[in-house]
Amino acid sequence: MASGTQTSSEYISHHLTNLTFGSHPVNGMSFAHNAQEAAEMGFWAINVDTLGWSIALGVLFTWLFRKVAKTATSGVPGSTQNFVETIIEFVDENVKGIFHHKNDLIAPLSLTIFVWIFLMNTMDLIPVDWIPFVAGQIGASFGADPHHVYMKVVPTTDVNATAGMALSVFALIIFYSIKQKGLGGFLAELSFQPLGKWMLPFNLFLELVGLLAKPISLALRLFGNMYAGEMIFILIALLPFWAQWVLSVPWAIFHILVITLQAFIFMVLTIVYMAMAYDHH
């Protein structure tokens, strides 16, 4: 719930600002005290909260699946093993249904994308004030102003995180396109289709737009949906206590669908784009 010492706009701004560390023109290497200072730190500033939560959730994913793999039994599986096997079978069916080529990377990549994004999205279900409040108290114990201690706990509401994942997938698309077709074949696909070699400039324009749209659509779709969902939770937190319960519970239940669907869409589009990289025209 919004603090009595903050206006509604200050409360919203605080919850939407990352904990940023970088080189400030005046303060040197430091944490940003507001969004303006974060912007002044430039491109090489690090959103510590996004990076920290992403790594922590990635470690959780790795630890859980490794633990299940090491303790798996061929007899009656436990609930955790059954849950993990269901996820793996679900991802494997999607890969087999879309990607009709031989590449041992695609299934592990798809599994990692689906589970990791799902875990990052699920952080949106944590009440918006809990972790920022704890972070503020920790900062206060070190002499910082709690209102200048930021902590965004949903990495996928940071476009830097979603763009990073999308660009990684894009790099794989380019790599395997060139590996399968050769550099000449890849450039020929960009230049000579769909209208033949006599329309090369027009073909090149269309194909480059389509190619560059892939990472942009991956990054912005995930970011936009999760950012909007987080914003609604923040706005609900500004309402009276009784209204928060009336609205937050139904929205959280509905948001479970959004969380899962966005992870699924990112995974499926990755598989589709990788299959397109292998297809010859």
Q: Catalytic site residues?
A: 217, 221, 225
* CB-side neighbour CA atoms (13 Å) of 215: 19
Pairing state of beta strands 46-47 and 20-24? antiparallel
- Give φ, ψ of 22 to 5 degrees: 180, -170
Angstrom distances, CA of residue 147 to CA of 45, 64, 84, 114, 144: 20, 35, 40, 34, 9
